[in-house]
Structure 1
Amino acid sequence: MTPLLIVGAGGFARETAQLVEAVNAVSPTWELLGHLDDDPAKHGALVDGVPVLGGSGEAAGREDARVVVCVGSPRDHAARARVVARLGLPPDRYATLVHPSASVSRTSSIGPGSIVLAQTVLTAAVTVGAHVSVMPHVTLTHDDVVGDFATLAAGVRLAGAVHVETGAYVGSGALVRETRTIGSYALVGMGSVVTRDIPAREVWAGVPARFLRPATVTVPPSLPVES
C-alpha cells in the first residue's frame, strides 16, 4: 500500500480519513500514516484513532508518502492554496482520493490533490482541477469546469457548462444555473440560487443570489488567479 499523509486535523481532514478507510475496504490502497497539523497542541494526539504526527512541514521529508491538504472553511477559503504554495511539493506527491460511492464518468477528470467525498456524481466531460474539495452529495453535470483550490460544499448542484474558477467556495446546497461563471476566490452562500455570473472575490447569497460584499481572502502571490 502507498503511504499517505493528511495535512490538517479538523473536520474535513477527519472526513478524508474515513474516505481512505472506505477505499481500503474495497481494495487495500493506502497506508494512512497520520495527520500533519500546524497547531502544536494537537501534536501527539489521536483524531478518530489517527495520530497527529507533527506540523505540515514534515511532509517534505517523507518522500515515500503521498499527500492531501485538507484545510479551509468559508471563513478562510484560500487557506488550502496558501498551504500548498508553502509546501512547494511537485504534483506527483499529491494523491487524488475518490470515495467508492462516487460516480465519475469515463469522460471526466480529477486533478492531483483533489478529494471527492461520498455520493458525488460527475456525469459527462466534467473537469475538476488540482486540490479541489468536493463534499458529499454534490452533482456536477456535463462540461462543468472546477478550477484549482475550489470548494464545493455538501449538496451543491451545478447545471451544465458551469465554470467555477480558482479558489472559489460554493456553499452547501447552492444551485448554479447552466453556463454561469463563479469568479476566482468568490464565495457563494449556502442555499443560494446562482442565476448570474459572479465576479472574482465577491460574496453573493440569496434566492436569487445577490452581491453582499467583497470577499476577504489572502491569496499566495505565487499562484495564478483567474480574472
Structure 2
Amino acid sequence: MTTFVLIPGMCHGGWCFHELTEQLRSHGHRAYPLTLTGLSERSHLLHGGVNLDTHIRDVTGVLAAERLQDVVLVGHSYGGMVITGVADRMPGRVSSLVYLDAVVPADGQSMWDLVSDTERQWYLQVTEAGDAVRPLPFFDPRATPHPLACLLQPLRVTGGSAHNRRDVYVYAAGWPASSPFTATYQRLCQDPAWITYALDSGHNLMRDAPQDLLKILLETGEAG
C-alpha cells in the first residue's frame, strides 16, 4: 500500500483529484486530496497573510497529524512549489515527488520567476481586495481566487532532501499554445536522476489523461 498526498494547482481545491483519489483507493492505496488555505471550501480563510509558507505548513501538518510515512507527494502546476518545500522540511517522510505539469523550483525562486509573461499577466488580474488572483474564465466553476502572496514569495530550501528519492515529471504536451513548462521538461529529460513522461494532454492531466496518469502513479508507488 502506498500513501499519496495530492496538491492542486492555482485556484483549485482537493476536488480536482476526486476521480484519481477514488481510483487510487480502489487499488488499495491511501490517497489524501488536500485543499490549501484560502481556496475552495477553505476560501473563507483567505487574507493577505496567506503565502507559500502557509501552504507548505498545510501539508506538513497533515503528514504530522496523520503520522504519514513513505509518502508520494503529487503536485499539479503551482503544487510543485508546495511539494518541493514539504520534501525539504520533512525529507524522512517523503519517498517520491511527482510533478504534474508543474514548476520545479530551486532555492530563492518564486512562482512569478518560473512562468512566462502570459502567466504573469494573469497574476495581475487581482480581486477588488488586491490580495488574490482571479480564476481564468474557462476554469471549473468551483475555482476560487488564489492568494497572490503565494505566487510572489520565494521558496527557501536547503537542497539536501533529494537523497534516495524518486522524482517524476509528467509533462502535458497538448497545450493549445506554448507551454510554460516545456523548458523544465526538456531539462529534466537530460537528468538521469529524474523519470519523465510526456502525455498527449492539456494542462489538466487529471481530467484529460486520467488512465495514463493513474498508471504512472501506480508505477511510482510500486517502485518506491
TM-score when normalising by structure 1: 0.31
Would you tell me which structure has more helix in proportion to its own residues?
Answer: 2
Choose 1 or 2 for highest CA Rg. 1
Larger RCO: 1 or 2 (CA < 8 Å, sep 6+): 2
Would you tell me which structure has more strand in proportion to its own residues?
Answer: 1
TM-score when normalising by structure 2: 0.32
